[in-house]
């Protein structure tokens, strides 16, 4: 590395330079969105490397999402102008912790070849634990147990760390015992879940001070981005690494923004930021105030929204980028229309020469993505989903990975049971039950139990031949794995196991695409030298990264968008109960709502030039239509920074889809057409807010529906009466969508169900 200091310091402001150049001792950079915290952090790494203070592998740099970690490496690469192979401790908390755990797995009773299981497997395993304990499975779900266990792991607590009363959190006092059983099963499977990665690291450091000291010495410089979102486990982990017991002051630089703390629900503690100065006395606190990312209206809107939160540290933000487009606000009929208008906007931007990858749609909840995915497929707009491990969640991908995991780790029973009869090998349910009973009785893996059943002659006929053949293949693949690269190995395993043929012979309509996905999986494996490396990548990254990132619109959750920026940002679904989420509104106190508001702040501040917010009057939730109200966050946008785009009567839906209970929708759409802040709309929203006091949204919907007249059809020329607009004459009718010339308010498009014959 050979770069002059000036080249990378150029363009940084005073405070940023200070953050870069204060390499020794603890540093806390506390500043609002887009002020160049990450830029300063990456420049700091570049500076440490360029000034030869440390080798790339002596730097620990962690952040939260894979995309952010990748961008961090890219930014450093640009600054120092080189390949950064050596930055092997730069990544997400999870990936770094997984690396450390691989090296010292035995200390916590795992083999280095352990599997990292995903949420889906975690829930399945929890379900098995509940089943084995003979609990009422309707009352105590696998998902519920997994959530409680995650909560403990987020606090860095193993079963023996927990005070007895914590057991009450699940199954009437059995919580801790179930947690212990779950951990034991993971050990037998030679597996770890995501939460374990850090918890096991912590145990390793506590049990083996030499190991802790080794890493403490190794990481001469430590950096953490998005520090406001660290949970207790991450905090403990960092402390163990930073304070090696040698009394030396660590060179630890953390960067954060209390207004962007959005993982409280996962146990993140914004207090970690506040505690930093106490933990590391003499820490230098650096504040940045100039926002370089967004135009003035975007920054003003974001600041106005977040200003509604109490108990903020408070920060001033300013920008030099005066002028710029106002926030665009659009009310639409339903989710489908929202997707359609956004797709049209995207195409219009593209026509103007904007690259697709400069646009992103940020949703509150992943279920909102479907409408966009469908619309993009229809319009042929290439898109990329981030954070939703779409590709790796598919059935065929999961099956194929189960084969590979089993090859790496024969004791991986979750994988074994997933594929033992896929394709069908002639094992009946009885044999499989017997297999798991024997495995449990002998405390062995399913594969070993299969072997035992062969030896004791318990298997007969077809099952016997099938088991012999399967175990023999498995053995052969394991030998191959020693000398074959992951891609050809994967291809071989899928061929020889009959799995590829299973889909080739399938009449399933999606079989061809499934076969393509299997090919894609082999392609993905070819980027790795070892099977282990590939499987880790899959477990941790689980993100589809295609080569053509440039030509695709981004689709992701607000949570996944943290730290990123895009010239154009779409923020759909700003409706009560979606955003803020129903869960946050049901909670007592303000904490949940304030976290949602921080999420709104994160969303708006991702935009550089254009921020477009929308809300629909109707939403289909679990297949049922519900009327929706604009989010309170819409209200909090400063009026003078907003441009309302909705056109009157822009419904564009068929009569069939028009729910009878859309009184609010009607109001909303009509009011949006004039100004969104009119009293009628506000009333409608207030009315809707009260609804939150009523636990059931369906209840309200029914109430409204019962007071609304049923669908009636009117003909051209007929005289009608509308509650709000008075008397009028039907000019045109299309299903139950009518155009009426009202005597007093003129031409309007209205829904038949709000009219009665005059
Ligand atoms: P967030 O809180 O959203 O993570 P951040 O504080 O990390 O934001 P960055 O992503 O580092 O902010 O920077 C935001 C944008 O401003 C980037 O495009 C970055 O290149 C640019 N930027 C940062 N500092 C400067 C500077 N001194 N001069 C010009 N541009 C800058
Ligand atoms: Mg950042």
pLDDT at 306: 95
Question: Which pLDDT value is given to residue 501?
Answer: 93
Q: Are residues 44 and 78 in the same domain?
A: yes
41 C-alpha to ligand 2 centroid (Å):
9
Q: Is 226 a catalytic residue?
A: yes
In this structure, the answer to whether residues 398 and 528 fall within a common structural domain is: yes
Q: Is residue 470 part of a domain?
A: yes
Supply 467's token pair: 């088991």
Residues 494 and 457 in one domain: yes
Decide if pLDDT at 710 tops 50.
no
Q: Kindly report the backbone phi and psi dihedral angles of residue 571, in degrees, each rounded to the nearest multiple of 5, phi listed first.
A: -120, 90
Residue found under tokens 């916590």: 108
What pLDDT is recorded for position 83? 61
- Do residues 383 and 395 share a domain? no
Alpha helices for 641-693 (secondary structure H): 663-674, 679-691
- Name the more confident of 341 and 628: 341
pLDDT > 70: percent of the chain = 86
In a domain, 74, yes or no: yes
Asked if residue 565 and residue 625 are part of one domain, the reply reads yes
Residues 259 and 334 in one domain: no
Q: Is residue 197 predicted with pLDDT exceeding 50?
A: yes
Domain assignment present for 112: no
Residue located nearest, by CA, to atom 20 of ligand 1: 39
- The reply to whether 165 and 211 lie within a common domain is no
The tens digit of pLDDT for each residue in 380-435 reads 888 888 754 455 567 788 899 999 999 999 999 989 988 998 998 888 888 888 88
Per residue in 537-587, pLDDT tens?
777 755 444 444 558 899 998 998 999 999 999 999 999 889 999 889 888
Separation in Å, CA 166 to CA 169, 170, 200, 236: 6, 8, 20, 20
Q: Give the torsion sign (CA, 222, 227, 232, 233).
A: negative
**Residue 20: what pLDDT?**
96
CA distance 439 to 727: 78
Instruction: Give yes or no: 606 in active site.
Output: yes
CA of 288 to the centre of ligand 2 (A): 12
pLDDT tens-digit series, residues 402-417: 999 999 999 999 899 8
For residue 113, is it within any domain? no
- Summarize the confidence of residues 503-529 as an average pLDDT: 78
End-to-end CA distance of the chain: give it in Å, rounded: 83
Domain annotation covers residue 194: no
Q: How far is the CA of 290 from the centre of ligand 1 (A)?
A: 9
- Is the CB–ligand 1 distance for residue 292 below 6 Å? yes
334 is catalytic: no
| pLDDT tier for residue 364 given thresholds of 50, 70 and 90 | very high
Distance between Cα 720 and ligand 1 center (Å): 58
Domain end position, chosen among 235, 260, 289: 289
Q: Which atom belonging to ligand 1 lies closest to the Cα atom of 564?
A: 3
d(CA 236, CA 285): 21
Is there an atom of ligand 1 within 6 Å of 209 CB?
Answer: no
Ligand 1 contacts CB of residue 563 (under 6 A): yes
**DSSP letters spanning 342-358:** HHHHHHHHHHTT--GGG
Tens-digit pLDDT profile for residues 595-653: 999 999 999 999 999 999 999 888 766 556 677 888 899 889 988 898 887 543 333 33
On whether both 92 and 155 belong to a single domain, the answer is no
Does some domain include residue 248?
A: yes
Residues in a beta bridge with 100:
none
* CB 13 less than 6 A from any atom of ligand 1: yes
Classify the complex by whether its ipTM is higher than 0.85, answering yes or no.
yes
Both 219 and 71 in one domain: the answer is: yes
What's 127's domain CATH number?
Answer: 1.10.10.160
Nearest to 120 by CA among 439, 371, 404, 402: 402
**Are 602 and 557 found together in one domain?**
yes
Ligand 1 proximity of 12 Cβ (cutoff 6 Å):
yes
Question: Is residue 602 classed exposed, middle or buried when 0-12, 13-18 and 19+ CB atoms within 10 A define those classes?
Answer: buried
Give the mean model confidence (pLDDT) for residues 282-300: 94
Q: How confident is the model at residue 123 (pLDDT cuts 50, 70, 90)?
A: confident
Instruction: Provide the domain limits for residue 431.
Output: 391-541
Q: What distance in Å separates the CA atoms of residue 215 and residue 208, rounded to the nearest whole number?
A: 11
With beta carbons less than 8 A apart as the criterion, state whether 201 and 237 touch: yes
Report residue 138 as tokens: 């309707």
Query: Does residue 131 sit within a domain?
Result: yes
Q: Determine which one of 260, 368, 397, 552 is catalytic.
A: 260
Contact between 67 and 560 under an 8 Å Cβ cutoff? The reply is yes
- Per annotation, catalytic residue among 394, 514, 606, 691: 606
38 assigned to a ligand binding site:
yes
Mean model confidence pLDDT for the chain: 83
Instruction: Among 39, 64, 253, 604, say which to mutate for ligand 1: greatest number of ligand atoms within 8 Å of CB.
Output: 39
Whether residue 679 has pLDDT greater than 60: no
How many CB atoms sit inside 10 A of residue 165's CB?
A: 10
pLDDT > 50? residue 707: no
Could you give the CA distance from residue 25 to residue 18 in angstroms, rounded to a whole number? 13
Question: What is the predicted pLDDT for the residue at 75?
Answer: 85
Q: Given 241, 262, 289, which residue is the final one in a domain?
A: 289
Pairing of strands 746-751, 737-742: antiparallel
Residue 283 located in a structural domain: yes
Question: How many structural domains compose the chain?
Answer: 5
Residue 87 shares a structural domain with residue 138: no
Band (pLDDT 50/70/90 cuts) for residue 34 is very high
Query: What's the pLDDT score for residue 513?
Result: 67
Q: Which of 541, 572, 599 is the last residue of a domain?
A: 541
The CATH number of residue 321's host domain is 3.40.50.300
Q: What is the CATH number of the domain that holds 535?
A: 1.10.486.10
- Ligand-binding annotation for 32, yes or no, is yes
Q: Is 196 a catalytic residue?
A: no
- Please tell me whether the overall predicted TM-score, pTM, comes out greater than 0.80 for this model: no
Q: How far is the CA of 563 from the centre of ligand 2 (A)?
A: 4
The verdict on 203 and 161 lying in the same domain is no
């Amino acid at each position: 590395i050979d770069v002059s200091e000036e080249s990378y310091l150029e363009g940084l402001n005073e405070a940023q330079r200070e953050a870069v150049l204060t390499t020794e001792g603890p540093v806390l950079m506390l500043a609002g969105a887009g002020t160049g915290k990450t830029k300063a952090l990456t420049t700091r790494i570049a500076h440490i490397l360029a000034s030869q203070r440390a080798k790339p592998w002596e730097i620990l740099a962690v952040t939260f999402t894979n995309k952010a970690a990748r961008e961090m490496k890219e930014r450093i690469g640009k600054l120092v102008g080189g390949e950064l192979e050596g930055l092997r401790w730069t990544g997400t908390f999870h990936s770094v912790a997984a690396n450390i755990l691989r090296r010292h797995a035995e200390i916590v009773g795992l083999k280095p070849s352990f599997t990292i299981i995903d949420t889906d497997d975690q829930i399945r395993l929890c379900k098995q634990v509940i089943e084995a304990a003979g609990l009422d499975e309707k009352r105590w779900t696998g998902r519920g147990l997994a959530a409680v266990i995650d909560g403990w792991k987020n606090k860095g607590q193993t079963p023996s760390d927990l005070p007895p009363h914590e057991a009450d959190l699940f199954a009437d006092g059995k919580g801790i015992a179930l947690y212990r059983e779950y951990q034991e099963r993971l050990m037998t499977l030679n597996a770890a879940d995501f939460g374990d990665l850090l918890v096991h690291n912590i145990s390793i450091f506590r049990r083996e001070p030499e190991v802790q000291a080794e890493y403490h010495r190794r990481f001469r410089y430590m950096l953490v981005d998005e520090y406001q979102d660290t949970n207790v486990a991450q905090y403990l982990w960092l402390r163990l690494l930073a304070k090696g017991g040698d009394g030396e002051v660590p060179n630890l630089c953390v960067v954060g923004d209390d207004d962007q703390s959005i993982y409280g629900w996962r146990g993140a503690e914004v207090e970690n930021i506040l505690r930093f100065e106490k933990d590391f006395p003499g820490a230098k606190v650096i504040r940045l105030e100039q926002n370089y990312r967004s135009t003035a209206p975007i920054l003003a809107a974001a600041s106005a929204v977040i200003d509604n939160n109490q108990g903020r540290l408070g920060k001033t933000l300013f920008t030099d980028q005066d002028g710029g487009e106002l926030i665009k606000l659009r009310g639409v009929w339903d989710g489908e229309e929202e997707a359609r208008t956004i797709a049209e906007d995207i195409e219009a931007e593209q026509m103007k020469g904007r690259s697709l990858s400069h646009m992103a749609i940020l949703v509150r909840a992943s279920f909102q993505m479907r409408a966009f995915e469908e619309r993009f497929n229809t319009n042929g707009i290439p898109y990329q989903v981030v954070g939703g491990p779409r590709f790796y969640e598919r059935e065929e991908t999961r099956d194929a990975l189960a084969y590979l995991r089993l090859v790496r780790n024969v004791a991986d029973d979750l994988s074994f049971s997933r594929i033992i009869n896929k394709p069908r090998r002639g094992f009946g349910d009885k044999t499989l039950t017997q297999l798991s009973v024997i495995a449990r009785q002998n405390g062995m893996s399913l594969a070993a139990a299969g072997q035992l059943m062969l030896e004791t002659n318990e298997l007969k006929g077809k099952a016997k031949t099938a088991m012999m053949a399967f175990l023999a293949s498995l053995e052969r693949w394991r030998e191959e794995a020693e000398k074959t690269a992951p891609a050809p190995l994967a291809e071989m395993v899928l061929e020889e196991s009959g799995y590829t043929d299973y889909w080739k012979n399938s009449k399933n309509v999606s079989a061809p695409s499934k076969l393509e996905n299997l090919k894609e999986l082999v392609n993905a494996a070819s980027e790795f030298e070892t099977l282990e490396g590939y499987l880790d990548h899959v477990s941790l990254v689980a993100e589809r990264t295609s080569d053509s990132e440039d030509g695709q619109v981004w689709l992701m959750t607000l949570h996944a968008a943290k730290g990123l920026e895009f010239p154009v940002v779409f923020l759909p679904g700003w409706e009560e109960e979606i955003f803020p989420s129903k869960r946050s509104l049901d909670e007592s106190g303000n904490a949940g709502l304030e976290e949602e508001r921080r999420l709104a702040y994160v969303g708006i501040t991702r935009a550089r030039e254009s921020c477009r917010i929308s809300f629909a009057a109707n939403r289909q939730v679990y297949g049922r239509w519900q009327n929706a109200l604009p989010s309170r966050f819409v209200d909090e946008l400063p009026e003078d920074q907003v441009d309302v785009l909705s056109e009157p009567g822009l419904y564009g839906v068929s009569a069939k889809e028009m729910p009878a209970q859309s009184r609010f929708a009607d109001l909303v759409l009509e009011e949006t057409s004039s100004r969104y802040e009119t009293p009628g709309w506000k009333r409608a929203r207030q009315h809707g807010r009260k609804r939150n006091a009523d636990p059931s949204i369906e209840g309200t919907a029914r109430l409204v529906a019962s007071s609304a007249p049923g669908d009636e059809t009117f003909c051209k020329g007929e005289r009608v009466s509308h509650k709000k607009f008075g008397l009028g004459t039907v000019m045109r009718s299309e299903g139950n969508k009518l155009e009426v010339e009202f005597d007093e308010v003129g031409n309007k498009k209205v829904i038949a169900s709000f009219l009665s014959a005059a």
